[in-house]
Amino acid sequence: MSIQEAQVSRADFDQVMVPNYAPAGFVPVRGLGSRLWDQSGRELIDLSGGIAVNSLGHCHPALVEALTTQANKLWHVSNVFTNEPALRLARKLTDATFADRVFFSNSGAEANEAALKLARRVAHDRFGDDKYEIISALNSFHGRTVFTVNVGGQPKYSEGFGPRPAGISHVKFNDLAAIEAMMSERTCAVILEPIQGESGVLPADQAYLEGVRALCTKYNALLIFDEVQSGMGRSGKLFAHQVYGVIPDVLTTAKSLGGGFPISAMLTTEEYAKHLAVGTHGTTFGGNPLACAVGEAVLDIINTPDVLAGVVEKGEYLRQRLRELGAPHDLFELVRGKGLLVGAVMSPAYKDQAAALMAAAEREGLLVLVAGPNVIRLAPSLVIEKADLDEGLARFERAIASFVAQHAPA
Protein backbone atom coordinates (compact mmCIF):
# COMPACT_ATOMS: atom_id res chain seq x y z
CA MET A 1 0.00 0.00 0.00
CA SER A 2 1.41 3.42 -0.95
CA ILE A 3 1.58 6.25 1.56
CA GLN A 4 -1.22 8.00 -0.37
CA GLU A 5 -3.49 5.02 0.14
CA ALA A 6 -2.58 4.40 3.80
CA GLN A 7 -5.36 4.96 6.30
CA VAL A 8 -4.81 8.01 8.46
CA SER A 9 -6.82 9.57 11.25
CA ARG A 10 -6.86 12.60 13.52
CA ALA A 11 -4.55 10.70 15.90
CA ASP A 12 -1.80 10.83 13.30
CA PHE A 13 -1.68 14.61 13.62
CA ASP A 14 -0.30 14.31 17.15
CA GLN A 15 2.44 12.00 15.90
CA VAL A 16 3.71 13.70 12.75
CA MET A 17 2.67 17.37 12.71
CA VAL A 18 4.22 20.35 14.47
CA PRO A 19 1.80 21.08 17.34
CA ASN A 20 1.15 24.74 16.51
CA TYR A 21 -2.47 23.88 15.64
CA ALA A 22 -5.16 22.14 17.64
CA PRO A 23 -7.43 20.79 14.88
CA ALA A 24 -10.92 19.43 15.41
CA GLY A 25 -11.39 15.83 16.37
CA PHE A 26 -12.65 14.79 12.94
CA VAL A 27 -11.05 14.89 9.48
CA PRO A 28 -13.00 16.35 6.53
CA VAL A 29 -12.54 14.31 3.37
CA ARG A 30 -15.01 15.71 0.86
CA GLY A 31 -16.85 18.96 0.19
CA LEU A 32 -19.51 20.13 -2.22
CA GLY A 33 -21.07 23.57 -2.14
CA SER A 34 -21.70 24.50 1.49
CA ARG A 35 -21.54 20.95 2.83
CA LEU A 36 -18.66 18.84 4.12
CA TRP A 37 -18.31 15.15 4.94
CA ASP A 38 -15.84 13.63 7.39
CA GLN A 39 -14.16 10.23 7.48
CA SER A 40 -17.20 8.63 9.12
CA GLY A 41 -19.55 9.97 6.44
CA ARG A 42 -21.07 12.60 8.72
CA GLU A 43 -22.40 15.64 6.84
CA LEU A 44 -21.84 19.18 8.11
CA ILE A 45 -23.14 22.55 6.94
CA ASP A 46 -20.16 24.88 6.47
CA LEU A 47 -20.76 28.49 7.53
CA SER A 48 -17.07 28.99 8.27
CA GLY A 49 -15.86 29.04 4.67
CA GLY A 50 -12.37 27.89 5.59
CA ILE A 51 -11.99 31.16 7.53
CA ALA A 52 -13.38 33.29 4.68
CA VAL A 53 -11.39 31.40 2.03
CA ASN A 54 -13.96 29.19 0.29
CA SER A 55 -15.69 32.13 -1.35
CA LEU A 56 -17.63 29.90 -3.74
CA GLY A 57 -18.01 26.91 -1.44
CA HIS A 58 -16.33 23.57 -1.97
CA CYS A 59 -15.48 22.18 -5.41
CA HIS A 60 -17.33 24.83 -7.39
CA PRO A 61 -17.52 23.43 -10.94
CA ALA A 62 -16.08 26.56 -12.54
CA LEU A 63 -13.03 26.41 -10.28
CA VAL A 64 -12.57 22.68 -10.82
CA GLU A 65 -12.71 23.31 -14.57
CA ALA A 66 -10.25 26.21 -14.42
CA LEU A 67 -7.78 24.22 -12.35
CA THR A 68 -7.93 21.01 -14.32
CA THR A 69 -7.75 22.80 -17.67
CA GLN A 70 -4.69 24.77 -16.58
CA ALA A 71 -3.14 21.66 -14.98
CA ASN A 72 -3.02 20.08 -18.42
CA LYS A 73 -1.25 23.13 -19.88
CA LEU A 74 1.35 24.67 -17.56
CA TRP A 75 2.04 24.47 -13.84
CA HIS A 76 5.13 26.55 -13.12
CA VAL A 77 7.73 28.49 -15.08
CA SER A 78 9.36 30.71 -12.39
CA ASN A 79 9.50 34.48 -12.41
CA VAL A 80 12.11 34.38 -15.14
CA PHE A 81 8.96 34.36 -17.30
CA THR A 82 5.46 35.70 -17.07
CA ASN A 83 2.39 33.65 -17.97
CA GLU A 84 -1.05 34.16 -19.49
CA PRO A 85 -3.25 33.42 -16.44
CA ALA A 86 -1.27 35.91 -14.31
CA LEU A 87 -1.58 38.63 -16.94
CA ARG A 88 -5.31 38.05 -17.39
CA LEU A 89 -5.99 38.12 -13.66
CA ALA A 90 -3.82 41.21 -13.13
CA ARG A 91 -5.65 43.04 -15.91
CA LYS A 92 -9.05 42.17 -14.44
CA LEU A 93 -8.00 43.27 -10.95
CA THR A 94 -6.68 46.61 -12.15
CA ASP A 95 -9.77 47.17 -14.29
CA ALA A 96 -11.96 46.59 -11.22
CA THR A 97 -10.01 48.77 -8.75
CA PHE A 98 -8.07 51.98 -8.25
CA ALA A 99 -4.81 50.15 -8.98
CA ASP A 100 -2.53 50.11 -12.00
CA ARG A 101 -0.14 47.37 -10.93
CA VAL A 102 -0.32 43.96 -9.21
CA PHE A 103 2.20 41.80 -7.34
CA PHE A 104 1.12 38.19 -6.84
CA SER A 105 2.19 36.04 -3.92
CA ASN A 106 0.79 33.07 -2.02
CA SER A 107 -0.68 34.23 1.29
CA GLY A 108 -2.04 37.27 3.04
CA ALA A 109 1.13 37.57 5.09
CA GLU A 110 3.24 37.73 1.92
CA ALA A 111 0.98 40.34 0.35
CA ASN A 112 1.21 42.48 3.49
CA GLU A 113 4.97 41.96 3.68
CA ALA A 114 5.21 43.27 0.12
CA ALA A 115 2.97 46.24 0.91
CA LEU A 116 4.98 47.21 3.98
CA LYS A 117 8.28 46.82 2.16
CA LEU A 118 6.89 48.96 -0.66
CA ALA A 119 5.88 51.69 1.80
CA ARG A 120 9.33 51.80 3.35
CA ARG A 121 11.00 51.74 -0.06
CA VAL A 122 8.87 54.63 -1.34
CA ALA A 123 9.63 56.68 1.77
CA HIS A 124 13.34 55.87 1.57
CA ASP A 125 13.58 56.83 -2.09
CA ARG A 126 11.60 60.04 -1.73
CA PHE A 127 12.39 61.33 1.75
CA GLY A 128 15.43 59.49 3.10
CA ASP A 129 16.27 57.01 5.83
CA ASP A 130 14.35 58.67 8.68
CA LYS A 131 10.88 58.10 7.21
CA TYR A 132 10.19 54.46 8.08
CA GLU A 133 7.61 54.37 10.88
CA ILE A 134 4.48 52.25 10.45
CA ILE A 135 1.23 52.73 12.36
CA SER A 136 -1.21 49.88 12.82
CA ALA A 137 -4.29 49.25 14.94
CA LEU A 138 -4.48 47.43 18.23
CA ASN A 139 -6.02 43.96 17.83
CA SER A 140 -5.26 43.95 14.11
CA PHE A 141 -3.94 40.91 12.28
CA HIS A 142 -1.68 41.13 9.24
CA GLY A 143 0.11 37.79 9.02
CA ARG A 144 2.67 35.53 10.70
CA THR A 145 6.04 36.56 9.27
CA VAL A 146 8.29 38.26 11.80
CA PHE A 147 7.55 41.62 10.18
CA THR A 148 3.80 41.27 9.72
CA VAL A 149 3.14 39.61 13.08
CA ASN A 150 4.75 42.60 14.79
CA VAL A 151 2.79 45.05 12.65
CA GLY A 152 -0.33 43.21 13.79
CA GLY A 153 -1.54 44.59 17.08
CA GLN A 154 -1.82 41.36 19.08
CA PRO A 155 1.23 40.73 21.31
CA LYS A 156 0.17 37.14 22.02
CA TYR A 157 1.23 36.28 18.47
CA SER A 158 4.49 38.24 18.39
CA GLU A 159 6.04 37.64 21.82
CA GLY A 160 8.88 35.17 22.21
CA PHE A 161 10.46 35.52 18.77
CA GLY A 162 13.34 37.81 19.60
CA PRO A 163 13.82 41.55 19.11
CA ARG A 164 10.97 43.24 17.32
CA PRO A 165 11.47 45.26 14.13
CA ALA A 166 11.83 48.95 14.92
CA GLY A 167 9.48 51.71 13.94
CA ILE A 168 6.11 50.03 14.50
CA SER A 169 3.38 51.63 16.64
CA HIS A 170 -0.18 50.64 17.51
CA VAL A 171 -3.21 52.78 18.31
CA LYS A 172 -6.83 52.07 19.12
CA PHE A 173 -8.99 51.14 16.11
CA ASN A 174 -11.71 53.63 15.14
CA ASP A 175 -10.00 56.37 17.21
CA LEU A 176 -9.02 59.13 14.80
CA ALA A 177 -7.56 61.36 17.51
CA ALA A 178 -5.21 58.57 18.59
CA ILE A 179 -3.84 58.02 15.13
CA GLU A 180 -3.51 61.77 14.51
CA ALA A 181 -1.46 62.11 17.70
CA MET A 182 0.85 59.32 16.58
CA MET A 183 1.50 60.51 13.03
CA SER A 184 4.51 62.58 12.05
CA GLU A 185 6.82 63.28 9.14
CA ARG A 186 8.56 60.01 10.05
CA THR A 187 5.43 57.99 9.29
CA CYS A 188 5.76 56.06 6.04
CA ALA A 189 2.53 54.03 6.21
CA VAL A 190 -0.69 53.36 8.04
CA ILE A 191 -2.08 49.84 7.62
CA LEU A 192 -5.68 49.07 8.55
CA GLU A 193 -8.33 46.43 8.00
CA PRO A 194 -11.54 48.19 6.87
CA ILE A 195 -13.27 45.42 8.82
CA GLN A 196 -11.12 43.96 11.58
CA GLY A 197 -11.55 40.21 11.23
CA GLU A 198 -9.59 38.20 13.78
CA SER A 199 -10.36 40.66 16.57
CA GLY A 200 -14.13 40.24 16.27
CA VAL A 201 -15.52 41.37 12.88
CA LEU A 202 -15.42 45.07 13.72
CA PRO A 203 -16.18 47.46 10.83
CA ALA A 204 -14.41 50.81 10.65
CA ASP A 205 -16.41 53.98 11.08
CA GLN A 206 -16.92 56.07 7.95
CA ALA A 207 -15.43 59.23 9.47
CA TYR A 208 -12.46 57.27 10.78
CA LEU A 209 -11.40 55.93 7.38
CA GLU A 210 -11.97 59.31 5.76
CA GLY A 211 -9.88 61.00 8.46
CA VAL A 212 -7.03 58.50 8.17
CA ARG A 213 -7.00 58.98 4.42
CA ALA A 214 -6.61 62.74 4.91
CA LEU A 215 -3.83 62.29 7.47
CA CYS A 216 -1.88 59.98 5.19
CA THR A 217 -2.09 62.53 2.40
CA LYS A 218 -0.98 65.29 4.75
CA TYR A 219 2.07 63.38 5.99
CA ASN A 220 3.05 61.73 2.68
CA ALA A 221 2.39 58.30 4.17
CA LEU A 222 0.93 55.40 2.22
CA LEU A 223 -2.50 54.19 3.29
CA ILE A 224 -2.54 50.38 3.11
CA PHE A 225 -5.84 48.56 3.37
CA ASP A 226 -5.49 44.93 4.39
CA GLU A 227 -8.46 43.25 2.71
CA VAL A 228 -7.16 39.72 3.07
CA GLN A 229 -10.38 38.75 4.85
CA SER A 230 -12.82 41.50 3.83
CA GLY A 231 -12.00 41.49 0.12
CA MET A 232 -13.29 39.66 -2.94
CA GLY A 233 -17.00 40.30 -2.45
CA ARG A 234 -17.19 39.42 1.23
CA SER A 235 -18.67 42.84 2.15
CA GLY A 236 -21.11 43.05 -0.76
CA LYS A 237 -18.66 45.13 -2.79
CA LEU A 238 -15.65 43.64 -4.51
CA PHE A 239 -13.54 45.24 -1.77
CA ALA A 240 -14.79 46.63 1.53
CA HIS A 241 -13.15 50.03 1.07
CA GLN A 242 -15.53 50.53 -1.86
CA VAL A 243 -18.40 50.42 0.66
CA TYR A 244 -16.84 53.48 2.30
CA GLY A 245 -15.70 55.24 -0.85
CA VAL A 246 -12.21 55.69 0.63
CA ILE A 247 -9.34 54.86 -1.71
CA PRO A 248 -6.04 53.48 -0.38
CA ASP A 249 -2.61 53.74 -1.92
CA VAL A 250 -2.02 50.01 -1.51
CA LEU A 251 -4.46 47.12 -1.20
CA THR A 252 -3.75 43.55 -0.15
CA THR A 253 -6.04 40.59 -0.71
CA ALA A 254 -5.81 36.81 -0.40
CA LYS A 255 -8.12 34.20 1.18
CA SER A 256 -11.21 34.40 -1.09
CA LEU A 257 -9.17 35.35 -4.16
CA GLY A 258 -8.30 31.71 -4.81
CA GLY A 259 -11.51 30.20 -3.49
CA GLY A 260 -9.36 27.66 -1.62
CA PHE A 261 -6.26 27.67 -3.84
CA PRO A 262 -3.32 29.61 -2.30
CA ILE A 263 -2.90 33.03 -3.91
CA SER A 264 -2.62 36.63 -2.78
CA ALA A 265 -2.11 39.99 -4.38
CA MET A 266 -0.81 43.43 -3.57
CA LEU A 267 -2.32 46.18 -5.69
CA THR A 268 -1.04 49.73 -6.03
CA THR A 269 -0.69 52.62 -8.45
CA GLU A 270 1.95 53.21 -11.11
CA GLU A 271 3.35 56.05 -9.00
CA TYR A 272 4.31 53.74 -6.14
CA ALA A 273 4.86 50.48 -8.00
CA LYS A 274 7.87 51.88 -9.83
CA HIS A 275 9.82 51.88 -6.54
CA LEU A 276 9.89 48.07 -6.60
CA ALA A 277 12.34 47.93 -9.48
CA VAL A 278 13.89 44.71 -10.79
CA GLY A 279 15.51 42.76 -7.97
CA THR A 280 13.98 44.63 -5.04
CA HIS A 281 11.39 41.98 -4.15
CA GLY A 282 10.27 38.56 -5.31
CA THR A 283 8.68 35.20 -4.61
CA THR A 284 9.20 31.75 -6.12
CA PHE A 285 5.57 30.74 -6.54
CA GLY A 286 3.81 34.12 -6.83
CA GLY A 287 1.81 34.41 -10.03
CA ASN A 288 1.75 30.64 -10.47
CA PRO A 289 -0.36 29.72 -13.55
CA LEU A 290 -2.54 27.28 -11.59
CA ALA A 291 -3.33 29.80 -8.86
CA CYS A 292 -3.99 32.64 -11.29
CA ALA A 293 -6.26 30.52 -13.48
CA VAL A 294 -8.38 29.70 -10.43
CA GLY A 295 -8.26 33.31 -9.23
CA GLU A 296 -9.52 34.55 -12.57
CA ALA A 297 -12.47 32.15 -12.41
CA VAL A 298 -13.27 33.30 -8.87
CA LEU A 299 -13.15 36.96 -9.87
CA ASP A 300 -15.32 36.39 -12.96
CA ILE A 301 -18.05 34.87 -10.79
CA ILE A 302 -17.91 37.17 -7.78
CA ASN A 303 -17.54 40.51 -9.53
CA THR A 304 -21.05 40.53 -10.96
CA PRO A 305 -24.07 42.61 -9.84
CA ASP A 306 -26.18 39.55 -9.05
CA VAL A 307 -23.63 37.84 -6.81
CA LEU A 308 -22.66 41.03 -4.97
CA ALA A 309 -26.31 41.96 -4.43
CA GLY A 310 -26.92 38.44 -3.15
CA VAL A 311 -24.11 38.85 -0.62
CA VAL A 312 -25.76 41.99 0.75
CA GLU A 313 -29.19 40.37 0.89
CA LYS A 314 -28.00 37.13 2.49
CA GLY A 315 -25.81 39.02 4.95
CA GLU A 316 -28.74 41.12 6.16
CA TYR A 317 -30.87 37.99 6.47
CA LEU A 318 -28.17 36.11 8.38
CA ARG A 319 -27.60 38.93 10.88
CA GLN A 320 -31.33 39.31 11.49
CA ARG A 321 -31.84 35.58 12.01
CA LEU A 322 -28.93 35.46 14.46
CA ARG A 323 -30.51 38.26 16.47
CA GLU A 324 -33.79 36.37 16.50
CA LEU A 325 -32.18 33.10 17.55
CA GLY A 326 -30.23 34.75 20.35
CA ALA A 327 -33.01 36.97 21.69
CA PRO A 328 -34.93 34.42 23.81
CA HIS A 329 -31.75 33.67 25.76
CA ASP A 330 -30.20 37.15 25.71
CA LEU A 331 -27.28 35.38 24.06
CA PHE A 332 -25.78 38.08 21.84
CA GLU A 333 -25.00 41.61 22.88
CA LEU A 334 -24.54 42.67 19.27
CA VAL A 335 -24.54 41.15 15.80
CA ARG A 336 -22.38 43.13 13.39
CA GLY A 337 -20.45 42.98 10.16
CA LYS A 338 -20.94 43.69 6.47
CA GLY A 339 -22.15 41.32 3.79
CA LEU A 340 -21.28 37.73 4.61
CA LEU A 341 -18.62 38.53 7.19
CA VAL A 342 -20.65 38.41 10.39
CA GLY A 343 -19.74 38.60 14.07
CA ALA A 344 -22.10 37.78 16.93
CA VAL A 345 -20.79 39.21 20.21
CA MET A 346 -21.65 37.15 23.29
CA SER A 347 -23.65 39.02 25.94
CA PRO A 348 -22.10 39.68 29.38
CA ALA A 349 -23.92 36.66 30.83
CA TYR A 350 -22.04 34.41 28.39
CA LYS A 351 -18.78 36.35 28.24
CA ASP A 352 -15.81 34.54 26.68
CA GLN A 353 -17.82 31.39 25.90
CA ALA A 354 -17.80 31.62 22.10
CA ALA A 355 -15.64 28.50 21.78
CA ALA A 356 -18.14 26.45 23.78
CA LEU A 357 -20.95 27.60 21.48
CA MET A 358 -18.83 26.76 18.42
CA ALA A 359 -18.30 23.26 19.84
CA ALA A 360 -22.05 22.86 20.41
CA ALA A 361 -22.64 23.85 16.77
CA GLU A 362 -20.18 21.21 15.56
CA ARG A 363 -22.03 18.55 17.54
CA GLU A 364 -25.17 19.57 15.63
CA GLY A 365 -23.38 19.24 12.28
CA LEU A 366 -22.58 22.92 11.75
CA LEU A 367 -19.24 24.66 11.24
CA VAL A 368 -18.88 28.20 12.56
CA LEU A 369 -15.84 30.16 13.73
CA VAL A 370 -14.76 32.28 16.65
CA ALA A 371 -12.97 35.63 16.48
CA GLY A 372 -11.41 35.90 19.88
CA PRO A 373 -13.02 34.41 23.01
CA ASN A 374 -16.20 36.45 22.80
CA VAL A 375 -17.36 36.49 19.18
CA ILE A 376 -18.95 33.85 16.94
CA ARG A 377 -17.83 34.53 13.36
CA LEU A 378 -19.56 33.36 10.19
CA ALA A 379 -18.05 33.63 6.71
CA PRO A 380 -20.03 31.27 4.47
CA SER A 381 -19.81 30.82 0.72
CA LEU A 382 -20.82 33.99 -1.09
CA VAL A 383 -23.12 31.90 -3.27
CA ILE A 384 -24.56 29.73 -0.52
CA GLU A 385 -28.02 28.48 -1.39
CA LYS A 386 -30.89 29.70 0.78
CA ALA A 387 -31.79 26.12 1.71
CA ASP A 388 -28.29 25.48 3.05
CA LEU A 389 -28.28 28.76 4.96
CA ASP A 390 -31.62 27.96 6.55
CA GLU A 391 -30.53 24.43 7.42
CA GLY A 392 -27.40 25.82 9.00
CA LEU A 393 -29.46 28.26 11.05
CA ALA A 394 -31.80 25.46 12.14
CA ARG A 395 -28.79 23.49 13.36
CA PHE A 396 -27.47 26.60 15.10
CA GLU A 397 -30.78 27.02 16.89
CA ARG A 398 -30.43 23.48 18.27
CA ALA A 399 -26.84 24.23 19.23
CA ILE A 400 -27.93 27.35 21.10
CA ALA A 401 -30.50 25.33 23.02
CA SER A 402 -27.95 22.74 24.14
CA PHE A 403 -25.33 25.40 24.89
CA VAL A 404 -27.72 27.47 27.02
CA ALA A 405 -28.86 24.36 28.89
CA GLN A 406 -25.28 23.77 29.99
CA HIS A 407 -23.98 27.31 30.35
CA ALA A 408 -26.92 29.50 31.40
CA PRO A 409 -26.02 31.74 34.34
CA ALA A 410 -27.39 30.67 37.69
Residues annotated catalytic, as ranges:
141, 226, 255
Strands (E), 193-316: 195-196, 202-203, 222-226, 250-253, 264-268
Distance of CA 51 to the CA centre of its chain: 7
Strand pairing category for 35-38 and 341-346? unpaired
Phi and psi angles of residue 12, each rounded to the nearest 5 degrees, phi first:
-65, -30
> Three-class SS of residue 385?
coil
Distance CA 206, CA 191 (A): 16
- Candidates 221, 200, 202; CA nearest to 123 is 221
Which of left, alpha, beta for 128 (phi over 0: left; psi -120 to 50: alpha)? left
Do residues 339 and 231 make contact, with C-beta atoms less than 8 angstroms apart?
no
DSSP label of 153? B
Q: What is the CA radius of gyration of the chain?
A: 21
Tell me how many degrees the CA angle 339-228-362 measures, rounded to the nearest 5. 65
Question: HSE of 350 in the Cβ direction (CA atoms, 13 Å)?
Answer: 27
Distance CA 175, CA 385 (A): 38
Type of residue at 55: S
List Cα–Cα distances, 377 to 47, 163, 202, 338, 367, in angstroms.
Answer: 9, 33, 11, 12, 10
Helices (H), 227-269: 241-244
